[in-house]
Amino acid sequence: MADNKKMVEEITPMDVDFAKWYTDIVRKADLADYSSVRGCMIVRPYGTAIWENIQRLLDGMFKEKGHENVMMPLFIPESLLQKEKDHVEGFAPEVAWVTHGGEELLSERLCVRPTSETLFCEHFKKVIGSYRDLPLLYNQWCSVVRWEKTTRPFLRTAEFWWQEGHTMHETAEEAMRETEQQLEVYARLCEEFLAIPVIKGRKTDKEKFAGAERTYTIEAMMHDGKALQSGTSHYFGDGFARAFEITFQGRDNKPQYPHQTSWGLSTRIIGAIIMTHGDDNGLVLPPAVAPVQAVIVPVAQHKEGVLEKARELRETVSKVCRAKIDESDNSPGWKFAEYEMKGVPLRIEYGPKDIEKGQCVVVTRHNREKRFIPVEELPARIPELLEEVRRGIYDLAAERMKEKTWTAATMDEVKRLAAGPTGFIKTMWCGEEACEDKMKDEAGLSSRCMPFEQETLSDVCPVCGKPAKTMVIWGKAY
Amino acid sequence: MADNKKMVEEITPMDVDFAKWYTDIVRKADLADYSSVRGCMIVRPYGTAIWENIQRLLDGMFKEKGHENVMMPLFIPESLLQKEKDHVEGFAPEVAWVTHGGEELLSERLCVRPTSETLFCEHFKKVIGSYRDLPLLYNQWCSVVRWEKTTRPFLRTAEFWWQEGHTMHETAEEAMRETEQQLEVYARLCEEFLAIPVIKGRKTDKEKFAGAERTYTIEAMMHDGKALQSGTSHYFGDGFARAFEITFQGRDNKPQYPHQTSWGLSTRIIGAIIMTHGDDNGLVLPPAVAPVQAVIVPVAQHKEGVLEKARELRETVSKVCRAKIDESDNSPGWKFAEYEMKGVPLRIEYGPKDIEKGQCVVVTRHNREKRFIPVEELPARIPELLEEVRRGIYDLAAERMKEKTWTAATMDEVKRLAAGPTGFIKTMWCGEEACEDKMKDEAGLSSRCMPFEQETLSDVCPVCGKPAKTMVIWGKAY
């Protein structure tokens, strides 16, 4: 294979250089590539197939709860972006501005959407008349642009792909329920399908979305102990509705402001998959989103009858999962390494001896466990094995999160822990932004969230000593 | 229903004002809305659901033929757009330019992609090394921007959604086969699924895509006799490959230029659906892409047991098609008009008398034919009826195209026909652009295509009298 460009090379071990390990996987598993456009990535077929699987799962869950997809414009006129004060302050510094259409200088600059609250509000104003029009439950799949200074594939890019849900409700209570419900949808995606344990909680005011009253988040822990915000759900109250003068005729026949939410999950989640499950041999994919769930590698395929039998096996396996056979003339060893790099959950080895015995060898990617399985049992065993992989990689991640989560009652303890291995540090907090700033300045920690599952660790804030209001999880974040 | 905003109003009859009829349907069937961004539309849930169904069908056909999806950047640096001379000349005058990222003036302007050949070529250069890497069969679903002066929803908007396929091949022959194959895929989508008859052919050099060697097209005829180009497939030869210096190591170990294609179909096709099948009562949707294929309208729903039985019916009907029940307190008459406006293929009326007789009334949208069908036969009859609708609306459109297609042998005949009702005019042609220009200047006709199915109408070009090379279909176009 002298001219086979893609040799399976070693990747940098994660203990040597975690950042390099990450980009090695992105490149060698053919997930994404750089483009000549500053900060913009190309998502290659394998990465796109993972995203399509995530889309299908999420889209199904959205529609099950009554949401409908729409397609909104890519551009936002400057005056529209400026309608909600906090929102424009948050986003204006990082948007891309279109100034010319063809040769013509535009009378008003347009920004490429960094998020679409303003566009949705403009539309809501037109289509909402009465309480009978509510709730409006919209979502869109698109890419958005934020002019980031430093970028890394999937984790932070100038352009990224996501879905953004935007809903309008008759009452504040209903909007709050929607905000919580959609966070649950994200948590379910992560835990049940991506095998990523997450902590659900609320962001502090300092960390919340520009223009939101409340932001809920799910936070995951990566291999290196750093946090990755994996999905957010915002409650806006009627702030945007007032700014955009959106009213509806209430049941009492009086005009009222509707209550709003938005929520988003992006291609960042692919970064979370890599850094939660990957290892020094490459990617480890959760079965639910793996483009190939089982790869069949014929052994001694030049021998008579092997390929024919392997193809028959592929037919069988295809009935219960997304299966592929690699008939290329690369060696079995090369193929083993290649599909480990690509994180395929199950490898099925099948050679003359196996054929003779009516069995095959199934290796689970995450722990390299080998099993000899009679061919006739495969259709029943494969779904079980895929579930075993999901549970196995979930448990590994959950265990790591448990091991790397510590509790601190005093600022000294916080600093001592922050100087050690990276992880989550739980403390109480008084609720003051000054104390949050001090955590950043003195211990290098940002607040990840105020978890829904609260504990009482002490009575006071470790920073200022004043009475504590809530427990916060602190960490270093992507 | 005093506060029900959306009363079913009359729409402008198509014979009175076809353009107004069109925009009435777009608005009243809730397909799209205008936005404050010049020339950009909002595709509303109903329109988006139609597009999603089209996407699913096409995406399946692409993948069946080995294509993989990718996600490319939204921006193209000016220098990259300029690499292929004909291409930049075609597109530069109509692109939107990004000049600032946040507060910072960019060192190089970026255009918002009008199409992505240049981005794909840059990537192909990186990933193509040997003939073993070919063919590369890529596609992406995205929106693109072309700064159009006058716009109409779906037909011509500054931003539109589409898919763009981009492939690279070892030989010219293989690339040509791909170009033809993908045109066939589009033709199949239109004829089999959208019930739109199309003429397949090749564009003249004047009408071909900027940078292409050959452009193939499918042309449909709208209600008003005008043509709508519904999908195009381009063969590039190695023009872009040479401009981008993309080479691969051939089977002979020598560097060679690969041969390229691209092909696209856009949200314009929704305009084609409206103008091919719609009537004065609203939209008529082809069953394959109708978000709701059968709507159940309970009659006298306040009477005991009616709603319960209607819901049971919905369960039954849901097993064989996309079904919906309208339980709102609007009158049956209002509902009939509403779902006719929305083009739902089948309406199922179900009231106390029907329940008693164990039957229901099924009305096909396109011809308003009523049938009494025993409930137990519904699961078998609905798929048949949907197919009957598809065939029925296809035949109507095919008949119209036949009626409005004329043949001319002399320029006098051409002018006489062009002065009458709009339609397709077939003539021979010498192949000279000067004669094509004259057809435009003197008869107001543009060449739609040189159809694959050629006829010999005469020996000479009706414009110049020189020997004819090919038959052309001329018309007025959207």
Residues 6+ apart with CB under 8 A from A388: A364
pTM of the model: 0.96
For the residues of B101-133, what is the DSSP string, one character each? ETTEEEEEEEEEPS--HHHHHHHHHHH--BGGG
Q: Quick one: pLDDT at residue A8?
A: 56
| Segment 84-143 of chain B within 8 Å of chain A by CB | 92-104, 110, 112, 119, 122-123, 126-127, 129-130, 132-133, 138, 142-143
What is the rounded average pLDDT of the residues B245-257? Answer: 97
Task: Report the alpha-carbon distance of residue B192 to residue B195 in Å, rounded.
Answer: 6
Q: How many CA atoms lie within 13 A of B405 on its CB side?
A: 18
A43/B71 touch (CB, cutoff 8 Å), yes or no? yes
Start-to-end C-alpha separation, chain B: 39
Q: Quick one: pLDDT at residue A90?
A: 85
Judge whether B10 and A96 are in contact, CB under 8 Å.
no
Task: Report the alpha-carbon distance of residue A386 to residue A293 in Å, rounded.
Answer: 8
Best of A35, A52, A123, A164 to disrupt the B interface by mutation (most B CBs within 10 Å)? Answer: A35
Nearest to A210 by CA among A77, A121, A89, A74: A89
Question: B161 CA to chain A: closest CA distance, Å?
Answer: 9
Nearest to A199 by CA among A449, A421, A476, A428: A449
Task: Report the alpha-carbon distance of residue B430 to residue B466 in Å, rounded.
Answer: 6
Asked whether the CA dihedral B13, B17, B22, B28 is positive or negative, the reply is negative
Q: Following CA atoms A117, A122, A128, A133 in sequence, which dihedral angle do they give, to the nearest 10 degrees? A: -40
A42/B76 touch (CB, cutoff 8 Å), yes or no? no
Q: Quick one: pLDDT at residue A1?
A: 34
| A133: chain B residues, CB-CB within 8 Å | 5
Best of A1, A6, A36, A94 to disrupt the B interface by mutation (most B CBs within 10 Å)? Answer: A36
Residue B300 contacts A where some CB pair is shorter than 8 Å: no
B98/A96 touch (CB, cutoff 8 Å), yes or no? yes
pLDDT band at residue B241 using 50, 70 and 90 as cut-offs: very high
For the residues of B133-176, what is the DSSP string, one character each? G--EEEEEEEEEE---SS-BTTTB-SEEEEEEEEEEESSHHHHH
Judge whether A219 and A228 are in contact, CB under 8 Å.
yes
Question: Angle at CA B225, nearest 5°, toward B417 and B476?
Answer: 70
Which helix (H) or strand (E) element contains residue A374? strand A369-374
Residue A149 contacts B where some CB pair is shorter than 8 Å: no
Q: At A239, is the secondary structure helix, strand, or coil? A: helix
A374 bridge partner residues: A359
pLDDT band at residue B116 using 50, 70 and 90 as cut-offs: very high
Residue A37 contacts B where some CB pair is shorter than 8 Å: yes
Residue B33 contacts A where some CB pair is shorter than 8 Å: yes
| A5: chain B residues, CB-CB within 8 Å | 129-130, 133
A403 bridge partner residues: none
A132/B3 touch (CB, cutoff 8 Å), yes or no? yes
CA B225 to chain centre: 17
Best of A4, A27, A41, A42 to disrupt the B interface by mutation (most B CBs within 10 Å)? Answer: A42
How many helices (H) and strands (E) in chain A?
14, 23
| Extended beta strands in A70-135, E state | 75-77, 96-101, 104-112
Q: Quick one: pLDDT at residue B12?
A: 96
| Segment 222-251 of chain A within 8 Å of chain B by CB | 249
B73/A145 touch (CB, cutoff 8 Å), yes or no? no
pLDDT band at residue B1 using 50, 70 and 90 as cut-offs: very low
Per-residue pLDDT of chain A (478 residues; tens, 9 = 90+): 333 444 556 899 999 999 999 999 999 999 999 998 888 999 999 999 999 999 999 999 999 999 999 999 999 999 999 998 888 888 888 999 999 998 899 999 999 999 999 999 999 999 999 999 999 999 999 999 999 888 899 999 999 999 999 999 999 999 999 999 999 999 999 999 999 999 999 999 999 998 899 999 999 999 999 999 999 999 999 999 999 999 999 999 999 999 999 999 999 999 999 999 999 999 999 999 999 999 999 999 999 999 999 999 999 999 999 999 999 999 999 999 999 999 999 999 999 999 999 999 999 999 999 999 999 999 999 999 999 999 999 999 999 999 999 999 999 999 999 999 999 999 999 999 999 999 999 999 999 999 999 999 999 999 999 999 999 999 999 9
B52/A69 touch (CB, cutoff 8 Å), yes or no? yes
Best of B30, B35, B249 to disrupt the A interface by mutation (most A CBs within 10 Å)? Answer: B35
Judge whether B437 and B421 are in contact, CB under 8 Å.
no
Residue A7 contacts B where some CB pair is shorter than 8 Å: no
| B95: chain A residues, CB-CB within 8 Å | 101-102
Residues 6+ apart with CB under 8 A from A302: none
Nearest to B144 by CA among B87, B94, B100, B188: B94
For the residues of B304-323, what is the DSSP string, one character each? TTHHHHHHHHHHHHHTTS-E
A126/B97 touch (CB, cutoff 8 Å), yes or no? no
B45/A68 touch (CB, cutoff 8 Å), yes or no? yes
Which tokens in the block code for residue B151?
A: 């716009």
Q: Quick one: pLDDT at residue A221?
A: 98
Start-to-end C-alpha separation, chain A: 39
What is the rounded average pLDDT of the residues B107-115? Answer: 96
B36/A77 touch (CB, cutoff 8 Å), yes or no? yes
Best of A97, A107, A110 to disrupt the B interface by mutation (most B CBs within 10 Å)? Answer: A97
Q: Quick one: pLDDT at residue B4?
A: 42
Provide Rg for chain B, Cα atoms.
Answer: 25
CB atoms within 10 A of CB B369: 13
Residue B41 contacts A where some CB pair is shorter than 8 Å: yes
pLDDT in tens, B438-475: 999 999 999 999 999 999 999 999 999 999 999 999 99
**Closest by Cβ to B126, choosing from A33, A70, A123:** A33
Nearest to A99 by CA among A88, A112, A80, A83: A112
Residue A304 contacts B where some CB pair is shorter than 8 Å: no
Q: How many angstroms separate the Cα of A188 from the Cα of each of A225, A230, A352, B332?
A: 22, 12, 43, 41
Residue of chain B minimizing CA distance to A159: B73
| B27: chain A residues, CB-CB within 8 Å | none
Nearest to A35 by CA among A163, A151, A161, A149: A151
Residue A372 contacts B where some CB pair is shorter than 8 Å: no
